[in-house]
Structure formats: structure tokens, C-alpha cells
Amino acid sequence: MTEPNYVSTTRVSKALGVSVSTVKRWVDDGILPAHKTAGGHRKVLVADVLRLVRDGEFPHLDLGCLEVRPARSDASDLADRLYNALLKGNIEQVNAVIQGSYQQGMPIAKLGDEIVAPSMHRVGSDWERGALDVYEEHRATQLCASSLFSLRSSLEAHAAKDRPTALGGAIEGDQSLLPSLLCEMVLLDEGWKAINLGPETPIESFLQATCELKPTLVWMSVSYQVMPRDFEERYAEFYAEAEKQGVAVVIGGQRADEQLLRRLPHTSSGLTLTQLVSFARWINPRKRRPRRGRPPLDSSGSASER
């Protein structure tokens, strides 16, 4: 597993061209997640710093202070590397691509859409034409899942307490593991509390989880359309309750085609994780840094430090 790369708030301030007190305030405000050591010092993941850079404007950047090695591969090259690592069953190489890309600042949505999905599609195509045995396809899925699970624990460790809840899974008849796991990861990366119900989830379970857990958003992953005849009727009952509670329902996946979407009422839909991110941000905008790092104004109009 790739070890998380932490840096001090002093190095972050030098890299972003702001004061140390500004960095500490972003940490306190939940804009920049941080881990506190036993001695009370703040340590920040390089990946979180790079995410902040993507979200804002920093005229005096010096990322060399973070000792980040420049990315030498584009997404297609990384997808090729992941595909070859999966065929070899090499978990170290799989982690180097998946976890290494994230540690270099790649968003989970891009990682899923442009690296994991194309690699697994090639693996699936190889299996369908008889070039791979089913054990090799299953092994590739488990290797990806294992690497993503390791990232998930890091995301959970730095999650805010007052975050909105989302839940979801693959619909009944769909045994796919990775699409819903990636949805969970994307929403965690966006600051949500994401509850993944896993593959082949009965619509009644979606309904019960929605009633008991009170989510803001429910996602349904559709990679296969092998649905019982009464699915649409039972889905309509679920959607009526979700609409009553003001819960947004998102349907997505490679089999979420226009014909299916016409039959199933929904709030939003999409084929990619990037589209899910856009909708999630519309519902719950992420905290952004103050312009130029200035502290917020108090009621008197004066700047105040915390």
C-alpha cells in the first residue's frame, strides 16, 4: 500500500503563498482536512493540498515545497499500467497506480472514469472473448476493490462531522461491485457521509434504508439490466417515499440508458462519476477557501482571527 504523504502547516503555507495562521484557520473551518499528532501538531495530506489548489486561485504557488514529484503519465498511460498490473495480479503495481494517482492530487472521479473503468472494461472484454478465465476477471475486480478500500479509510479518517448523508448500491440483479464502491468513494471525496449498500440490493432495502437513515441523496448503480417483472412497480413505491422525504435519487451506470430512465422517475442521471460529482456539489457545495486567505468579517465589519 502507498503510504499517505503528510506535510506540516508551515510547508503548506510556503507552497500556497499564504500565512501559517491562514492555513490553520482553513483547517479549523473544515476547508482543509488535517490530522493532529500526539503532540498537537497539524499534519495535512498532500492530496488535500492539491485538491485545494484545484478549487481556488493561488498567485504565489510553489508546490516544490511539498516535494511532489511531477506526474509523468496521462490518464491513458495510467489505465494501461493498471490493466497490465491487473492481468499480472500484482497488488503493489495496482496500488502504485490507484493510490499513487490519488496521492498526486487526482480526484477520485477522474481516477474512476479515466483509469479504473477503462482498465476493467478491457478485462471484461478479454473475458467475454475467452482470452481470460473467470478467475482472472474476478481477481482483477478484487485487486481494484482492495486498493480503493485502503483509500476509503484515509478519506473517512479526515471526514467532517457535520456532513450530509448519501446511500446507494447496485440494483437487484446487478452483481457488480466496483461501480457502487466508486460512487461511495467519490462522495466521500466530496465531503459526504456515504453508505454503500453493495451489489444486488433489493428495492425494499433501498426503501428501508432511506426511511431509517434519512439521506439527502440516494444513488442507484445499473451495470446490468436483469430486473424482475414487478421491479418498476416496487421502484415507484420507493420513489414516492423518497420524493415525500425530499431525497434526491440519482440513477447511473453503463446500462442506465434512455429507455430505462424513461421508465424510472429520478432526480438526476448520468453515465460518469464526474456527473455524480457535479450533482452532489449542486446539492451540497463544498466549503471554499476565503479569497486571498483573508479571515471572515465579524458583525462589525472587522477582520477576525480565530
Parse the chain into domains and list their residue ranges.
6-66, 70-158, 160-286
pLDDT average, residue stretch 225-242: 89
Please give the backbone phi and psi of residue 236, each rounded to the nearest 5 degrees, phi first: -60, -35
Q: How far is CA 127 from CA 41, 115, 122, 124, 165, in A?
A: 50, 19, 9, 5, 37
Identity at 148, one-letter amino acid code: L
* Residue 280 identity: A
40 or 266: which leads in pLDDT: 266
Determine the Cα–Cα distance for residues 28 and 44; give it in Å rounded to an integer: 12
Query: What integer best gives the mean pLDDT of the chain?
Result: 85
Instruction: Please list the residues that pair with 45 across neighbouring strands.
Output: 6
Region 70-158: CATH code: 1.10.1240.10
User: Is 105 or 286 the better-scoring residue by pLDDT?
Assistant: 105
pLDDT category, 295, cuts 50, 70, 90?
Answer: very low
Average pLDDT of the segment spanning 263-275: 93
- CB distance 98 to 144 below 8 Å: yes
Superfamily for the 160-286 domain: Cobalamin-binding domain (3.40.50.280)
Chain position carrying cell 471484461 = 124
Per-residue pLDDT at 233: 94
Among the ranges given (20-34, 162-176, 194-208, 282-296), the one the predictor scored with the smallest mean pLDDT = 282-296
Q: Is 220 helix (H, G, I), strand (E, B) or coil?
A: strand
The listed CATH number (1.10.1040.10, 3.40.50.2000, 3.40.50.10490, 1.10.1660.10) that belongs to domain 6-66: 1.10.1660.10
**Neighbour count for residue 69 (Cβ, 10 Å):** 9
pLDDT of residue 57: 66
Q: Region 133-157: what's the mean pLDDT?
A: 90
Cross-sheet strand order for the sheet of 217-221: 193-196, 165-170, 217-221, 248-252, 268-270
Q: What pLDDT was estimated at residue 181? A: 96
As a whole number, mean pLDDT of residues 207-225 equals: 94
Q: Is the pTM here over 0.85, yes or no?
A: no
- Quote the pLDDT of residue 205: 97
pLDDT one-digit tens code per residue, 13-68: 888 888 888 888 888 877 777 777 666 777 887 777 777 776 666 767 776 777 65
DSSP lists the bridge partners of residue 219 as 168, 250
